[in-house]
Structure formats: structure tokens, C-alpha cells
């Protein structure tokens, strides 16, 4: 019998720096010593030397994943947050447009506009957007009182807690991308280095400045692992080169629909079922499992799917085997919906820059509460100012675009993430803009994967068309 005792303990960041923890873990690869003994022999200098040699020198970058930082970012624009959150391997929590109100001057004026002919107009527009946002809330709330009456037994406080977010959900369409927000980020040093590199390569001065500052504060905890983060010439060059191609070959046209399933594994359901047999069956190879599923009757496949889902509880994820079915979609959604959509890290997303070209949505609550005229006027003004600034600097022009404007997104995901997304974003407490997207997705998935799609968990009492009719006067002005 071995005299080796199981030990499970923390290498606490209270006792060791993130870089020392990363070295202690890295060294277990070659050293038989316990982790705490390795860590006890290290200090900041020896840890830095190790990282210079192995992580920076030999490119053994995965070691840097053991150094984790918690970064607090305050008063950064929502446009900048897009670049910050464009990193899959990190965790974020940000100020919600659903549960908080924005102050009338809580927006960022881009440094690029300093002394430009657009500076005054930009500030004027942002103030008007915020003014309209705040002015719309009381009438929208009054309208909501008629449409969402207080329930029997519901206290005044509980009713207010229900009404206030519902009103803000409607008025948030007016908030521009320049609106300031706070975001907390938990990220490891490997992902942070790349995140900073992307920020330093951004065309926006604000994002570059945030990248510089993140490198500065990050180095207080991880002095070696992120110090070489720099602007990436590949990221800079590729954009110019492909944009030039796009012009040369005239890659234009907007023939597509606003939501479409572009591509999917034709045998996706069979792959999922076969992978489940592969996992729990009797050592059969993958080809044989797929072939066996192909021989099953429709009824047997339905029963196999039913057994796969039978004991699944309310909060259980489908098994990993659902990841063997892949789908690619294209969607147009308002910026408010996209801002929530981008938080789903398990899918591949490609988004076009914010612009005014796809028009904007008009929420029903804005029209029904008598705010439509003011809303349309300021949104159209934002669209016009976008066009003017865009001729001079398209990246900076994005700051004026309010949440209600539409955006086109290409995205690919597996069936497991479809289940996760639809459950979370199709739920009644999700914002109606993203609920609409979740129902569009569910409808498309059910058509191609009827067997497994029938288990998507979303309330069955609505459709995306019904949501659109109930919550929007129009989803797209043009």
C-alpha cells in the first residue's frame, strides 16, 4: 500500500502572487515536489525569470493561464466594451441597461473629435439622446401601468420592481454606443495579453488607452506575463487588405433575409445520437455507431432521443455529445440585443461595424405612450450625424449609434449552445429584443432537427412573430 497521502489545498493568491502560482503549477511538469514546497522556494524575481525563459522565450504560453487577474473598469464606453468582451476565455459582469438608469451626461466624447467640426454636434446629439431617454421613461411607465396592471396580492414595491425595468427596457433603445458603463473582468494572463494586443491594435483612441492602462495595472500583479503585449501589425494590416478586396470585387448586396439558417450538418441529429451510443455503448467505433443509428426506424430514433433527454432537470445542460451538430446563422438584430448576444462565448460570432444602414427598431411602448415623434426625430438625427462623421472616420462615427439601430451578425454554434441560448434568452425574463432572436433560432432549428429540437426549453405560448407584433411598432425603419 502506498504511503502517499491525498492532499487537496489552495495555493491562495493571498499567500502567493499570480506569477508565483503559475510557476508552481508549471514546475509540477518536471518536479516530483509538492506544489506548496515548490511555491515556498519561489519569489517574485525567480518567478519572473522562469516566465521570461519559458513563457516569453520558448512560447510555453499555457503556463500564463494559471495567473488570474480581476480587473475593474469604470466609465468606459459601451463601444469600447465590445472590444474588451471580445475575448472568449474570460468572465464579465457589466452595468445593465435593464436594471439601471443612465445619468444625462454619462457618455464618452471621443478624443478624435477634439477640435473637429463634429465635436459640438456630437455632444449636442448625445445630450439629446439622453434627455429623450430620461423624458420617455415616465410616459412609458404610465402606459405600462395600463397594459401590465398590478396583480392581486402584489405589493406596491414588487409592482414597482416589475414596472421600472419594463420601462427602461423600452427606453434603452435611445442609449448611444458612447454611453459609459462599468465592467468587471476576470481573466488569465494568457488571454489578457491577447486582449491587450487587440485593444492596442484598435482604430479607436479610447480602446487603445484602455489597453495601455490594462497593461499598466496588470503588470502590478503579473509583471512579466503581459509586459510584451503590443499593437499587432497583422491585425492592422488584414483589415485594410480585406477591405480593399471587398471594394475591388464589389462585394455588395443585401439580398438575404433578416434571420436565416445558412448551413447545418445534414446528419446532425444522427451524429448526436451516435456519439451518445459511442460514449455509453459497448466499445463500438464511431462509424459503426453512426451506421447503426442510420438503420433505426423513426420510432426507435424518437425513443432513443427521449431516453437521452428523459431525466434532464430544469438547470441541466444537454450532454457534450450535442456539440457534434453544427449550425451557421445570419441575423439582423438591434444593438441592444447584440450587446447581450455577444456575451455568449461558446459560439463563433462575426459582427459588422455599427452603422445606420439597416435602420432602427421602434418599440411599441414608445409609440403607444406618445413618445414616437420625439424618438423618431432624435434617432434620425443620430443616423444623419453618423453618416457625416462616417465619411471622415467610420470607427468614431459608431459612437453616435443608439441601441435601437440594427446590426448584421454571422454566427456559428453547436446544438448544445443552441439549447443553452434558447433557454436563457427565450425565457420570459429576457429582454424582448433577444427573446425574438431566440425564437427565430428555435424555429429554424426545429425545422432541420425536429427530433432533438422538440426538446428546446422555451415557453410554448409565443412565437417570434407574436413577440415582434407585441413589442415593436417596427423592427426596421428601412
Q: Which residues bind ligand FAD (CB under 6 A)?
A: 91-94, 96, 99, 343-346, 420, 424, 429-430
51-90 in b/e form (b: 16+ CB < 10 A) is beebbbeeeeeebbbbbbbebebeebbbbbbbbbbebeeb
Q: How far is the CB of 429 from ligand FAD (least distance, A)?
A: 5
Q: How far is the CB of 350 from ligand FAD (least distance, A)?
A: 16
E strands, 133-254, are: 180-188
Distances (CA, A) of 141 to 3, 135, 160: 69, 11, 10
Q: Are 326 and 414 in contact (CB under 8 A)?
A: yes
158 versus 427: smaller Cβ distance to ligand FAD: 427
For residue 33, the cross-strand partners are none
Q: How far is the CB of 467 from ligand FAD (least distance, A)?
A: 16
Sheet holding 90-94, edge to edge: 68-77, 180-188, 90-94
346 versus 466: smaller Cβ distance to ligand FAD: 346
328 versus 381: smaller Cβ distance to ligand FAD: 328
Q: How far is the CB of 210 from ligand FAD (least distance, A)?
A: 17
185 versus 444: smaller Cβ distance to ligand FAD: 185
DSSP assigned state of 179: B
Q: How far is the CB of 345 from ligand FAD (least distance, A)?
A: 3
What DSSP line would sit under 389-422, residue for residue?
HHHH-HHHHGGG-BTTBEEEEEEEEEHHHHHHHH
Q: How far is the CB of 18 from ligand FAD (least distance, A)?
A: 17
Q: How far is the CB of 42 from ligand FAD (least distance, A)?
A: 27
210 versus 430: smaller Cβ distance to ligand FAD: 430
E strands, 144-233, are: 180-188
Q: Are 451 and 302 in contact (CB under 8 A)?
A: yes
Cα–Cα dist 46/334, whole Å: 51
62 versus 287: smaller Cβ distance to ligand FAD: 62
114 versus 316: smaller Cβ distance to ligand FAD: 316
Amino acid at each position: 500500500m502506498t504511503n502517499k497521502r491525498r492532499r487537496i489545498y489552495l495555493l491562495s493568491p493571498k499567500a502567493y502572487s499570480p506569477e508565483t502560482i503559475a510557476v508552481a503549477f508549471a514546475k509540477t511538469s518536471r518536479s516530483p515536489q509538492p506544489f506548496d514546497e515548490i511555491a515556498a522556494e519561489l519569489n517574485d524575481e525567480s518567478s519572473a525569470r522562469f516566465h521570461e525563459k519559458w513563457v516569453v522565450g520558448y512560447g510555453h504560453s499555457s503556463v500564463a493561464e494559471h495567473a488570474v487577474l480581476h480587473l475593474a473598469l469604470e466609465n468606459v464606453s459601451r463601444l469600447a466594451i465590445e472590444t474588451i468582451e471580445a475575448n472568449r476565455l474570460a468572465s464579465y459582469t457589466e452595468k445593465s441597461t435593464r436594471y439601471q438608469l443612465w445619468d444625462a451626461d454619462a457618455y464618452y466624447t471621443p478624443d478624435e473629435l477634439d477640435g473637429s467640426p463634429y465635436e459640438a454636434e456630437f455632444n449636442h446629439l448625445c445630450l439629446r439622446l439622453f434627455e429623450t431617454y430620461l423624458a420617455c421613461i415616465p410616459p412609458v411607465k404610465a402606459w405600462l401601468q395600463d397594459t401590465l396592471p398590478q396583480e392581486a396580492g402584489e405589493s406596491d414595491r414588487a409592482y414597482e420592481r416589475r414596472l421600472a425595468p419594463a420601462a427602461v427596457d423600452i427606453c434603452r433603445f435611445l442609449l448611444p454606443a458612447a454611453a459609459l458603463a462599468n465592467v468587471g473582468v476576470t481573466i488569465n494572463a494568457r488571454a489578457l495579453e491577447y486582449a491587450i494586443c487587440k485593444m492596442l491594435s484598435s482604430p479607436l483612441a479610447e480602446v487603445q488607452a484602455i489597453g495601455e492602462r490594462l497593461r499598466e495595472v496588470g503588470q502590478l500583479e503579473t509583471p512579466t506575463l503581459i509586459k510584451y503585449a503590443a499593437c499587432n501589425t497583422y491585425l492592422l494590416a488584414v483589415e485594410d487588405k480585406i477591405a480593399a478586396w471587398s471594394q475591388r470585387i464589389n462585394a455588395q448586396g443585401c439580398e438575404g433575409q433578416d434571420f436565416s439558417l445558412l448551413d447545418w450538418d445534414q446528419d446532425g441529429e444522427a451524429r448526436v445520437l451516435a456519439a451518445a451510443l459511442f460514449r455509453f455503448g459497448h466499445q463500438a467505433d464511431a462509424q459503426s455507431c453512426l451506421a447503426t443509428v442510420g438503420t433505426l426506424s423513426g420510432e426507435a430514433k424518437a425513443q432513443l432521443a427521449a431516453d437521452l433527454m428523459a431525466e434532464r432537470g430544469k438547470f441541466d445542460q444537454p450532454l457534450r455529445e450535442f456539440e457534434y451538430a453544427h449550425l451557421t446563422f445570419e441575423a439582423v438584430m438591434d444593438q441592444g440585443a447584440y450587446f447581450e448576444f455577444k456575451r455568449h462565448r461558446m459560439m463563433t460570432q462575426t459582427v459588422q461595424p455599427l452603422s445606420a444602414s439597416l435602420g432602427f427598431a421602434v418599440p411599441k411602448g414608445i409609440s403607444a405612450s406618445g413618445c414616437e415623434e420625439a424618438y423618431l426625430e432624435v434617432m434620425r438625427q443620430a443616423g444623419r450625424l453618423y453618416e457625416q462623421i462616417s465619411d471622415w472616420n467610420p470607427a468614431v462615427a459608431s459612437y453616435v449609434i443608439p441601441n435601437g439601430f440594427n446590426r448584421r451578425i454571422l454566427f456559428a454554434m453547436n446544438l448544445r449552445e443552441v439549447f443553452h441560448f434558447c433557454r436563457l434568452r427565450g425565457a420570459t425574463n429576457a429582454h424582448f429584443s433577444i427573446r425574438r432572436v431566440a425564437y427565430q433560432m428555435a424555429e429554424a432549428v426545429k425545422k432541420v432537427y425536429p427530433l432533438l429540437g422538440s426538446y428546446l426549453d422555451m415557453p410554448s405560448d409565443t412565437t417570434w412573430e407574436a413577440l415582434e407584433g407585441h413589442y415593436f411598432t417596427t423592427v426596421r425603419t428601412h
